[in-house]
Structure 1
Amino acid sequence: MAAPEKTSGTLLRRVPLTETSLIVHWLSPDLGLLKTVAKGARRPKSPFAGRLDLFYRCEFLFVPARRGDLQTLTEVTVVDSRIGLRASYLQSLAAAYFVKLIEQVAEPGLPVPELEDLLERGLNYLASKAPDWRAIRHFERQLAEALGLGGPEHPAAAVIRQTFGELPAMRWELRDRLWPAGGAPD
């Protein structure tokens, strides 16, 4: 068995694997997108209980997979729960949009510290402030810049859509809820 590795990251997604286990998706500054299996995480007395929730910033240990891309999660310490993201539906929706965008453009296992830093800044902003349409557009512009796409003459959302496909559906709900009456430009 390989020696455990330690890293930090933001929890992006949790997917049931079995009745007792979860697949947990992370974004780590030094490992990029990473998938781990948390064995027994769904049991009431699991050592992972209360430590694996969306948008949590954690330090964790995992055992690298011998084959495939599913590492084994062995230990988790919550560094920042970002409880403010749960203050309103719009804060949670905007955070989910940021995460979906990052997942759409990032390559698994390829560290891109700029993307991780952008997500951290975006989630931390949303944890302390209600989202507005300018914040959403700013995140999109910063993402396009980090990817080396577009410029001021091209809307960031259009450039991202052209390069990576349709934007996550929650963008349109955010636009409808955050833009003042009359609709928003894309």
Structure 2
Amino acid sequence: MAASNLHRQDNQPVYVLHTYPFKETSLVVELFSREFGRVAAVARGARRPRSAMRGMLQAFQPLQATWSGKAELKNLHGMEWGAGLLLLRGEALMCGFYLNELLLRLLLREDGHDALFDYYSQTLRILAQDQVLPATTLRRFELKMLQELGYAVPLEHDASGEAIQSGHQYVYVAEQGALRSSQHAAQANGVQLSGKALLDMAQDDYTDTQTQQQSKQLMRALLAHYLGEKPLHTRQLLMDLQAL
């Protein structure tokens, strides 16, 4: 969406992804907006102790924001609480920070992804309920995010267009897809996994232990490919905690 259409936006559904100091008393707030994607805005005076906005700039909480400006860095005028405040604790909290870092690294500015926004909101609620294995929740979000951002991750057909066979072994290569491992055993930059794991992922089924392990290896390799050389700080923290 053109910057001229972003001159003022009122009460837009958002989440705070990150904040950092700006000048003496202000903050730059990285927002994930449902309609406009990632938006950076200055919250003037937000570092002052009595700032009304300061206490609202919290990650993982549904908010409504009003901002204006034609430049890349907007002016944040106000925030309001959305519906259903969430509490993420312990491992779920670290997972939430991981999701935020992924979005900060991969989302383009002012590029709306409403389906991804809704899935992010749903994922936060799942983490807050603490009823699903965090690793499974992360795999689902990683895959959904890459698909929504336009990165092809074919799971039901191999690179030649043939249907994936559950009993076959494959080597998955970023931007190519699955290759029969018997024919491409020398693919050093690929991830070896079973056809069953690929089909399980396509069906959103992570109950099988091998699928859990191989899907983690696959998503780690794909994200490393698209993120480049700079590692994710939260990924390392999660690996140190429980190898998520």
TM-score using structure 1 length: 0.82
- Among 147, 152, 168, which residue is 1:149 paired with? 152
Return the index of the structure with the highest Cα Rg.
2
CA RMSD after TM alignment: 2.3
| In 1, Cα distance between equivalents of 2:95 and 2:73 | 28
| In 2, Cα distance between equivalents of 1:3 and 1:101 | 27
Aligned residue type for 1:56: Q
Structure 1 position 78 matched with structure 2 position 141: no
Q: How many aligned residue pairs are there?
A: 175
Unmatched runs of 5 consecutive residues or more in structure 1: none
Once the two structures are superposed, the pairs formed by residues 54-133 of structure 1 within 5 Å of their partners are 54-65=59-70, 68-80=71-83, 82-85=85-88, 87-88=89-90, 90-129=91-130, 132-133=134-135
**Residue 100 of structure 1, CA deviation:** 0.9
Higher RCO, Cα 8 Å, sep 6+? 1
| In 1, Cα distance between equivalents of 2:85 and 2:239 | 23
| In 2, Cα distance between equivalents of 1:171 and 1:3 | 36
Unmatched runs of 5 consecutive residues or more in structure 2: 1-5, 156-169, 173-217
Per-residue CA deviation, residues 106-128 of structure 1 (Å, 9 max, x unaligned), is: 11111122322232122221122
Residue 5 of structure 1 corresponds to which residue in structure 2?
9
Residue 163 of structure 1 corresponds to which residue in structure 2?
226
C-alpha change, 1:169 and 1:3, in structure 2 (3 Å) is closer
Structure 1 position 33 matched with structure 2 position 38: yes
Runs of 4+ in 1 over 6 A off after TM superposition: none
TM-score using structure 2 length: 0.64
Relative to structure 2, which stretch is displaced further, 101-110 or 170-179? 170-179
| In 1, Cα distance between equivalents of 2:37 and 2:24 | 28
> 2:33–2:117: 8 Å Cα contact kept in structure 1?
yes
> 1:51–1:78: 8 Å Cα contact kept in structure 2?
yes
Per-residue CA deviation, residues 2-58 of structure 1 (Å, 9 max, x unaligned), is: 974211211101111022111111011111100111111111221213111122221
